[in-house]
Structure 1
Amino acid sequence: MKKLFALTLVSSALLTGCMKGEQKADLSKEENKIFYAVGTMHGSRFKSLEMSPAEKTAFLAGIKDSLNGEKEKVNSQEYAMKFRELLQKRTTQMAKGNKDKGGQFIETFVSKEGGTKTASGLAYKVLTEGKGETPKAEDTVTVHYKGTLLDGTEFDSSYSRNKPTSFPLNRVIKGWTEGLQLVKKGGKIKLVIPSELAYGDQGAPPKIPGGATLVFEVELIDIKKADKK
């Protein structure tokens, strides 16, 4: 938490620049593009806090005052601790809200889309029946996949890279480890994975918020059996 506070406060300052007043970013230079990219990456962390307009104004004012050498209007050391408390509170609240939405999504997926819910809370639907065997947790699988949030926002895809990926099945999130054992080689499966089987309350910022239920469509291309000891 402390590292996040220090890193995001410094790097988010890049969003405003050192000059007073609003200015359009000049992205004609490579160095400016680098700083812009860093600013967007870390600025997205604050976006997830869903700040009010007044909070955004205060946040940017603090950055500008610091960069312009103005005397701080509040004790930054004192409020650093309060920020950590606020961050934890909002993270918990947002995670709970996301988990509630995920639970409703899974129930609809099961009741209206023909999905199946396992004892762990994972929901799945086999989209294409394969003809081969199913993998074991110790095996290495090769897959093509797409991952989205509940609103359809894509956060990862091997299709976009035009290259399948391979990994040991027991070294990924629990929802994948369980879910890929439910489809045969050559098949395709849709997985709806609750946060407790994915990235938990902390999520995987900036793309995956805390408590998020994730939706994957996965093609199981190949299975490499684990070496027997």
Structure 2
Amino acid sequence: MKKIIPFLVLGSMVLVSCNKKEAKIESDDDKTFYSVGHVYGKRFKEFKLNEREVEALIAGVRDGMTKDQAQVDDTMKYAYKFRDIIQTRLQANSAGEKENGVKFLEAFVKNEGGTKTASGLAYKIINPGSGEKPKATDTVEVHYKGTLINGTEFDSSYKKNKPIEFPLDKVIKGWTEGVQLIGKGGKIKLVIPSELAYGDQGAPPSIPGGATLVFEVELLSFKK
């Protein structure tokens, strides 16, 4: 984590949790707040808090919303400690994903004729395309499909029937490096280890922490 979880995250999660009674989700406003809380609740699920930790977290948010005085001194000190605890847990949780990702990437290089770069990215050019290749500072238009190493698809512009355009240096490092290897009309398969993707934090709920990602990317066009 590069910064402490914002208060909004904590507050949103607790709004539907600080009351011991089961909340009745009836009106559109109820459903709106419930949906926000559910999103962040799923995010906190990855941290694997025990019951005591959940209760302490809820109490802290509730007191912050309703009381002027905290139950502990120097709340910022403990907020930074929270960051460190969560970072440690994320690293521990992602260890298995990373190990499986290494095996998958090595098999891809060995069995599918992939190439591994100095950064750890693995790729196989399906179609090299033609002409000049994009630079990291260029804006590219692509079609793509992304899966986990078990084949679970988490995103696809093909399914949306709409290509996506973005500056190549504003995405995950594996994309920035890999898309520069093909020209217009080219297609490449990328196997991206977590350190070049979403790291220990992942991108829940679709991408777990430490996950190695597989992309097929088709470069439609690019511009300076």
Q: Same-fold call, TM > 0.5? A: yes
Query: What is aligned with 2:38?
Result: 40
Query: What is aligned with 1:159?
Result: 158
1:187 aligns with 2:186: yes
8 Å Cα contact 1:8/1:45 also seen in 2: no
1:87 aligns with 2:82: no
Query: What is aligned with 1:72?
Result: none
Structure 1 SS opposite 2:5? helix
Residue 14 of structure 1 aligns with an amino acid whose one-letter code is L
Q: CA deviation at 1:201?
A: 3.5
Q: How does 1:55-94 map to 2 (within 5 A)?
A: 55-56=50-51, 59=54, 63=58, 83-94=82-93
Q: CA deviation at 1:50?
A: 3.4
- Aligned length in residues: 216
Q: CA deviation at 1:161?
A: 3.2
- TM-score, with normalisation over the residues of structure 2? 0.76
Residue 58 of structure 2 aligns with an amino acid whose one-letter code is I
Q: Which runs of 5+ in 1 are unaligned?
A: 70-74
Q: Residue 10 and residue 114 in structure 1: after superposition, are their counterparts in 2 closer, same or farther (change >3 A)?
A: same
Q: Residue 171 and residue 135 in structure 1: after superposition, are their counterparts in 2 closer, same or farther (change >3 A)?
A: farther
Query: What is aligned with 1:215?
Result: 214
Identity %: 54
Query: What is aligned with 1:115?
Result: 114
Query: What is aligned with 1:4?
Result: 5
Separation of aligned partners in 2, 1:140 and 1:86: 38
Once the two structures are superposed, what CA deviation does each residue of 1:21-56 show, in whole Å capped at 9, x if it has no partner? 445x53x522122112211221122121234xxx14
Q: Residue 135 and residue 170 in structure 1: after superposition, are their counterparts in 2 closer, same or farther (change >3 A)?
A: farther
8 Å Cα contact 2:91/2:200 also seen in 1: yes
Separation of aligned partners in 1, 2:147 and 2:5: 25
8 Å Cα contact 1:8/1:42 also seen in 2: yes
Q: Residue 50 and residue 104 in structure 1: after superposition, are their counterparts in 2 closer, same or farther (change >3 A)?
A: farther
8 Å Cα contact 1:169/1:176 also seen in 2: yes
Q: CA deviation at 1:4?
A: 0.9
Q: Which runs of 4 or more aligned residues in structure 1 lie more than 6 Å from their structure 2 counterparts after TM superposition?
A: none
Separation of aligned partners in 2, 1:116 and 1:67: 53
Structure 2 SS opposite 1:32? helix
Once the two structures are superposed, what CA deviation does each residue of 1:185-208 show, in whole Å capped at 9, x if it has no partner? 223221111122223344445544
Once the two structures are superposed, what CA deviation does each residue of 1:163-190 show, in whole Å capped at 9, x if it has no partner? 1112232333221122112233223221
Separation of aligned partners in 1, 2:94 and 2:15: 28
Most deviating of 188-197 and 198-207: 198-207
Structure 1 SS opposite 2:35? helix
- TM-score, with normalisation over the residues of structure 1? 0.74
